[in-house]
Amino acid sequence: MRLLFIAFFGLAVGYVMPEGHTGKLPSLGWNSWNAYHCDVDEDKILAAAQALVDHGLRDAGYTYVNIDDCWSVKTGRVNGHIMPNLTRFPDGIKGLADKIHDMDLKLGIYSTAGNATCAGYPASLGFEDVDAADFAAWGVEYLKYDNCNVPSNWTDQYIYCTQDRSDINLTANGTCTSQLDPDLAPTNYDWRDSNTYDRFTRMRDALALQKSEIVLSLCIWGYADVYQWGNDTGISWRMSNDIEPYWNAVTRILNINSFKMNSVNFWGHNDADMLEVGNGNLTFEETRSHFAFWAAMKSPLLIGTDLTNLTQTNVDLLKNEYLLAFNQDDVYGAPATPYKWGRNPDWTYDPYSPAEFWSGASQEGHLVLMLNPSNDTVQRKEVVWSEIPGLSPGCFQVTDVWTGQNLGCLQSYSAEVAIHDTAAILVGSTC
């Protein structure tokens, strides 16, 4: 059970999450933004939902269908409420939710803890109770809550050392100093005293008052040391700026998150942003590396492509039984973490060449990933059991995560790894 602290009338009280309550494991589903941006409507949402069913992705666990920005009337509130754009959503959000629920799926929606959403639509700061009640009445079950257009009276006294922040002056090793950034928060500053914390927890508290459950996902970009307080506010929190369908964006996020994994466990997950599987110019090798690490880091897995054009190869990737089992393990909550950097010395901050050797324990054994970040060279990767936390020298049953092939009883493992590819194995019982 998880104890979530919720503020009512200025008093902190405990609300105990019952077993089975949503949010223990990373969310799986689809989000409209990477595929459509603001060009979103009911037909596209329903087509995505149907594709989840037809591709077998719903049955694999992908159950959220999330509308991102631009779903409402842009000109402003109507009688104090955000009004759905009835040209794009002729049956309203409630009508759409009913159709999504009839497909045994869940509907998510989007708003912002500011004066306007990132695309300039009405947002929820100051209207949390009204909007939370509307979302609940419509049958919404997931809220992505963004961080754009914060009014000046709601900005923070300090800034946090967020590696993706454009107004931060990072040192070569990805850290910050007060010499370079005079507004940097003191080392022991409690970010629960910040305006950012207040902005996001207002929506948390409003959602908690509803009779139906709506999980809260903070799109906060790693600001305000959300790793310190995110777990008593939402089920996940974005730890970077937006992803893009390019290899350098994948390695940038992987590098940042490799230093933030201690905040991940049951009921709270670093959100590495939506999946770019099926998008852009990512190669086959880059695509499966991207998916493998997002699954292993126990990020939410929200598909972000036009599902009606998804290739069978990418469908099979998204349904990989070993990676999904690790991501959704209900006994082991911790993610995979780096145990060796590889080409770079351990703990090197390098957005182009992040940590290469990762492992994590699960019910089925130890998941081990070996990344080749090189732009021009196939690399041979070797795994030594004694280097992996939780393992010792000896022989283990090993399975190839990509093919499902039983590789036998091995004393060690090595593989030729293609450019930007990842070798992935499951190290099982001793033999």
Which positions are annotated as active-site residues?
146, 242
Entry field: residues in the chain: 431
Question: Quick one: tokens of 356?
Answer: 């290469």
CA-to-CA distance for 207 and 374, rounded, in angstroms? 45
Q: Is the dihedral of CA 226, 231, 235, 236 positive or negative?
A: positive
| Residue 427, beta-bridge partner list | 366, 398
| Angle formed at CA 125 by CA 133 and CA 26, multiple of 5 degrees | 70
CA distance 294 to 171: 26
Are the C-beta atoms of residues 300 and 230 closer than 8 Å to each other? no
Give dist(CA 194, CA 335) in Å, integer.
28
Beta strand pairing status for 2-8 and 236-238? unpaired
3-state secondary structure the chain: CEEEEEEECCEEEEEEECCCCCCCCCCEEEECHHHHCCCCCHHHHHHHHHHHHHCCCCCCCCCEEECCCCCECCCCCECCECCECCCCCCCHHHHHHHHHHHCCCEEEEEEECCCECCCCCECCCCCHHHHHHHHHHHCCCEEEEECCCCCHHHCCCCECCCCCCCCCCCCCCCCCCCCCCCCECCCCCCHHHCHHHHHHHHHHHHHHCCCCCCEEEECCCCHHHHHHHHHHCCCEEECCCCCCCCHHHHHHHHHHHCCCHHHCECCEEEECCCECCCCCCCCHHHHHHHHHHHHHCCCCEEECCCHHHCCHHHHHHHCCHHHHHHHCCCCCCCCCEEEECCCCCCCCCCCCCCCCEEEEEECCEEEEEEECCCCCCCEEEEECHHHCCCCCCCCEEEEECCCCCEEEEECCEEEEECCCCEEEEEEEEEC
